Amino acid sequence: MRAYDRAEPLIAIHVPKAGGITARAVFERWFGDGFLRHYYDEREGCLPERHDLRALHSVSRPVVVYGHFNRARSFGVQDYYPDVRQFVTILRDPFEMAVSRYFYVRKAGGSWRDQGRVPLQPLQDYLRTFSSPMLNHFPRVVTLENYRNVIEEDFIEVGLTEHLDESLARIALALGKPYNQHSKLEYLNATPRDQVVPDGLREEFIARHPLEFAVYDYARQRFMGR
């Protein structure tokens, strides 16, 4: 993976339902007034604000743009910040992420402008038709042929939700930031579940999402191998 260049802006990609709200609080402490949010306003149906990174960033006051970067909804990296070359993110098992997303959107989506994005069907039906947006948040189009290169060339660090404390410690080390590992993380934005995941559904989901699992498995093997 690439080394962090303090002279250049950083993008922290918050893949939805992968621990990004918890990690966001840590990044806010690290970057202070250099922390810039990038989120679509679901209630108002408004695109994120576009920041002038050239004007805002300096070596003495580095900036990070933190948030969702879904190119399928016109607020991806290339839509907003095509010149940024360094990224960090945290990934989660794609199946677990989809399950978590279902319960979260059903709970939070009542106030969203686009009600078509709020699932009404049972969990089992939702998962069988779900199209994972995970890789839409990556800085460039990901394929089975290039995903290793994307991770190695574009990212400073790729953490795992399942090892969030260790992931934040590694990101802190790469960015030269303080982090008190093994302190109690406050896990934010978790949603209660009112349905049980049916047996066998995970295997079906994996078969329908080979690219997402190839990316996740590569990131996981790389993470666990260090």
140-181 per-position pLDDT tens digit: 999 999 999 999 999 999 999 999 999 999 999 999 999 998
Judge whether residue 58 has pLDDT over 80. yes
100-125 per-position pLDDT tens digit: 999 988 888 888 887 878 888 999 99
Residue 189 has a CB neighbour count (10 Å cut-off) of 14
Judge whether residue 226 has pLDDT over 80. no
Q: Which fold has domain 10-224?
A: Rossmann fold (3.40.50)
- Contacts by 193-199 with C-beta closer than 8 Å and gap 24+? 193/99, 193/103, 194/103, 195/103, 195/122, 195/123, 197/99, 197/123, 198/123, 198/124
Amino acid identity of 137?
A: H
Amino acid identity of 198?
A: P
123-133 per-position pLDDT tens digit: 999 999 999 99
The whole-angstrom separation of Cα 127 and Cα 110 is 20
Whole-number average pLDDT of the chain: 93
What percent of the chain is predicted at pLDDT more than 90? 82
pLDDT-derived band of residue 195, with 50, 70 and 90 as boundaries?
confident
0.85 exceeded by the pTM?
yes
The whole-angstrom separation of Cα 87 and Cα 2 is 9
